[in-house]
Amino acid sequence: MYSGCMSTPERLIESTRELLWERGYVGTSPKAILERAGAGQGSMYHHFKGKPDLALAAIRRTADDLRATAERVLAGPGTPYERIEAYLLRERDVLRGCPVGRLTMDPDVIASEELRAPVDETIAFIRQRIAELVEEGKRQGQFAPGLDGEEIGAAVLATVQGGYVLARASGSPAAFDAGVRGLLSLLTPPATGKDR
């Protein structure tokens, strides 16, 4: 519940973001948003056209956040492999799922071009960034030349998104970690240094 320290539209957006993450678009009602934001009906319809409009603002912000978080790791220090590894191993609240990816299971989000767009753009962006890293790693001889950047990018992102599914199904983050370790073991560049 956001009591003070934020403007009303801000509190509405943040409450919506939380609820979309927890319950999805279909499972999120204006009433629940208002209760969490500590606002009345009138406030919401004054600042936003309705539920879809508010959801769009919330989804855009969540999408931008996630993109920035991913970019921080993917553009960070280290070799291409190390940066992909850092992306896969970055701290996550696994059982909560992906705040962006979970929206793809929402029929009303998928049915709306506007609501789906930020989701699509975010996922496409991360996938593309990983693809670029793979291509760079190939040039450096870190990845096998036969690998396709776009395909590996898709596989990496899919492992993360699917990892959430496995974890939530089992009620434990362990399955997510197992999937990531499995992918990393397949992706590990052949040791070129002193060891082995």
- Per CB under 7 A, residues contacting DNA are 7-9, 28-32, 38-43, 45-47, 50-52
Question: Smallest gap, in angstroms, from Cβ of residue 59 to DNA?
Answer: 15
Rounded CA-CA distance 97/72 in Å is 20
The smaller minimum CB distance to its own copies, of residues 28 and 34, is found at: 28
Residue 138: enclosing H or E segment and its boundaries? helix 113-139
Residue 115 binds what, of its own copies, DNA, none (CB under 5 to 8 Å, by partner type)? none
Written as one string, the DSSP assignment of 30-99 is HHHHHHHHT--HHHHHHHSSSHHHHHHHHHHHHHHHHHHHHHHHHTSSS-HHHHHHHHHHS---GGG--T
Binding characters for its own copies, 70-99, by CB under 8 A (x = yes): ---------------------------xx-
Is residue 103 within 8 A of residue 59, CB to CB? The reply is yes
Is residue 103 within 8 A of residue 109, CB to CB? The reply is yes
Residue 178 binds what, of its own copies, DNA, none (CB under 5 to 8 Å, by partner type)? its own copies
The smaller minimum CB distance to its own copies, of residues 6 and 32, is found at: 32
The torsion of the CA quartet 100, 117, 149, 130, rounded to 10 degrees, works out to -40
Question: Smallest gap, in angstroms, from Cβ of residue 32 to DNA?
Answer: 6
The smaller minimum CB distance to its own copies, of residues 40 and 95, is found at: 95
- Under the binding rule (CB under 8 A), the answer on residue 137 touching its own copies is no
- Under the binding rule (CB under 8 A), the answer on residue 33 touching its own copies is no
Question: Smallest gap, in angstroms, from Cβ of residue 64 to DNA?
Answer: 23
Angle between helices 149-170 and 80-89 (to 10 degrees): 20
Q: How far is CA 127 from CA 30, 50, 95, 170, 195, in A?
A: 33, 32, 22, 26, 32
The smaller minimum CB distance to DNA, of residues 39 and 157, is found at: 39
Using CB under 8 A as the criterion, which residues of the chain lie in contact with its own copies when the complex forms? 22-24, 26-27, 97-98, 101-102, 104-108, 110, 116, 119-120, 123-124, 127, 146-148, 150-166, 168-171, 175-176, 178-183, 185-187
